[in-house]
Amino acid sequence: MTGLQQAQLLFMRHPDPMWIYALDSLRFLLVNDAAVRIYGYSHDEFQRMTLRDIRPAADIPLLEANVRGVTQGLDEAGFWLHRRSDGELITVDITSEVIEYEGIRAELVLARNVTPLVDARREVAVLREAISLRVEGSAACGVDAGTFEDAQQLQQRLHRTLENMKDAFVTLNRQFVVTYANSAFARLVGSTVSGVMGRHAWSCFPGTADTAFGVAFKKALYAGERAAFTEYHPDTGAWLCVTSYPVPEGFAVYVQDVTERRELAQRMEQAEKLEAIGQLTGGIAHDFNNLLTVIIGNTDLLAEALADDPLRAMVDMTSAAAVRASDLVDSLLAFSRRQTLQPAALDINARIRALQPLLQRVLAANIDLSFDLAGNLAQTFVDAAKLDSALLNLAINARDAMPDGGQLRITTGNCVLDGSQIPDEPSVSAGAYVFLSVADTGCGMPQEDLGRAFEPFFTTKPVGKGTGLGLSMVHGFVRQSGGHVNLASTQGAGTVVTLYLPQIRAETASNS
């Protein structure tokens, strides 16, 4: 499964409706399962539809005007009415971002169903009117005891609705003091509902006073009109989308955690970039390899013809340079998953033990190498030489990350993965795997570099200390072998690279 397919599977599993549509035609290019469930159309039906088909007719001119104004970056379009297949209208909060999808300028859209919130706001208005009538209370107004009972029932229903919302909701008076908060808001600020009632809004976010989030929050409330912003919230480590609405008593504030949404957009962008780089790299490397075959073949013939000639030394230099170039091309082909593999049933533990002397020579004397090799390790079907090369690459990377010494630990084991067990690999195919983990205590990688770690020629090493092809080669080899790679690193604390390779059954191993 490619990186792009991984991102698409994460997209498909998102609990809120998501889709990608073409900006020029408004045609749906891809929709997730939540969209199918909530809108009532099948995937095939969506493929034949455009955005116009899920909008009320009166809204279509506004939709087209909004699309014409789309620019790069995150766009928070706010609340819109959408029509389900059964004709029911729902209110959705739209957030989108322009992306390139299969060569088409498109937009990735998340449509969060906020119909319960909108219904709750309507109920608040009805409740307020009912209570107002009860307070005025004269028989001339036609109000009886049942009106107040209805208002109480409505209030209870409203409270249940707000409590069942997964997003945070809070109301403030005109002095910015909390008059209502649901449980989600209390959890967000690390308190209880009773603990936030009566507190000033700014005191609910004490660590954000001088941050971009704090400034944007104050600006939104002081605006006195509907305002929305998305900022990083340092107290929770999440990206929050905050929307505030003026109400007669003050403000209603709706807070969504959009961290997962932003990460999904970034993952899809990164996956498409790696896919494009892989296609370009593979094509160039393949053609270049053909040229090198001619060069190496001719230098071999020249070397034979000039056996006793002084020019033989120049021919040997040319041949050696061509061979090094061929090795470089092989690394590029590995990244693009176009290299030729010779897989066979393999006991990874036996391979590691055979490679141990070479690993010891590769590592510096001040690095402690240890092993934790599982007993009864299942076999896997991979190219043994490529696995050796991958393990050596990881060991060299670890060595370079520990110039003052440290520990390198190689671990193997059997595991069963269901996709939820590896946060960075949401699309792991369910099944049995053999894992090979290489952990060091080195300098680690900055978080901003993790997303680029598998790109060819990307390196955090000083100039001249590496080609930037080691991890990309490992990634390409493992993916081509039907496996997965997980990279975890903390700056100053070390790096763990884990290869997951599919197990093979005993009868498959004996046949091979």
- Please report which confidence band the pLDDT of residue 157 belongs to, taking 50, 70 and 90 as the band edges: low
Query: In terms of C-beta density within 10 A (0-12 exposed, 13-18 middle, 19 or more buried), how is residue 75 classed?
Result: middle
Helices (H) and strands (E) counted in the chain, each on its own, are 16, 17
CATH topology of domain 10-113: Beta-Lactamase (3.30.450)
Amino acid occupying residue 33:
D
Is it the case that residue 8 has pLDDT exceeding 90?
Answer: no
- pTM score of the predicted model: 0.42
pLDDT (tens digit per residue) in 429-455: 678 899 999 999 988 887 777 666 666
Q: For a pLDDT cut of 90, what percent of the chain falls above it?
A: 11
Pair 255, 185: CB distance under 8 Å: yes
Contacts of 222 (CB under 8 A, 6+ apart): none
Please tell me the predicted confidence (pLDDT) of residue 271.
57
Which residue in this structure is represented by tokens 């170039």?
A: 325
Pair 18, 34: CB distance under 8 Å: yes
CATH topology of domain 116-259: Beta-Lactamase (3.30.450)
CA atoms within 13 A on the CB side of 109: 28
Q: What is the DSSP string of 397-419?
A: HHHHT-TT-EEEEEEEEEEEE-S
Q: What is the DSSP string of 215-275?
A: HHHHHHHHH-S-EEEEEEETTTTEEEEEEEEEETTEEEEEEEE-HHHHHHHHHHHHHHHHH
pLDDT (tens digit per residue) in 100-127: 877 888 888 888 887 766 655 555 554 4
pLDDT (tens digit per residue) in 468-502: 456 777 777 787 777 888 888 888 889 899 999 99
Token couple for 472: 């990309």
503 by DSSP, 3-state: which?
strand
Q: Could you tell me how many residues make up the chain? A: 512
- Please report which confidence band the pLDDT of residue 36 belongs to, taking 50, 70 and 90 as the band edges: very high
Are domains 10-113 and 344-511 of this chain identical in fold? no
Q: Residues 431-463, buried b or exposed e (16+ Cβ, 10 A)?
A: eebbbbbbbbbbbbbeeeeebbbbbbeebbeee
Please tell me the predicted confidence (pLDDT) of residue 130.
45
Is it the case that residue 504 has pLDDT exceeding 80?
Answer: yes
pLDDT (tens digit per residue) in 300-338: 787 777 777 777 778 778 877 777 676 666 655 554 444
How distant, in Å, are the alpha carbons of 21, 43, 71 from that of 104? 9, 20, 15
Which residue in this structure is represented by tokens 């549509």?
A: 21
- Per domain, the residue ranges of the chain are 10-113, 116-259, 269-326, 344-511
Q: Residues 24-56, buried b or exposed e (16+ Cβ, 10 A)?
A: eebbbbbbbebbbebbebeeeebeebebebbbe
386 by DSSP, 3-state: which?
helix
Q: Please give the span between the terminal C-alpha atoms of the chain, in angstroms, as a whole number.
A: 24
CATH superfamily for domain 344-511: Histidine kinase-like ATPase, C-terminal domain (3.30.565.10)
Q: How far apart are CA 354 and CA 347, in angstroms?
A: 11
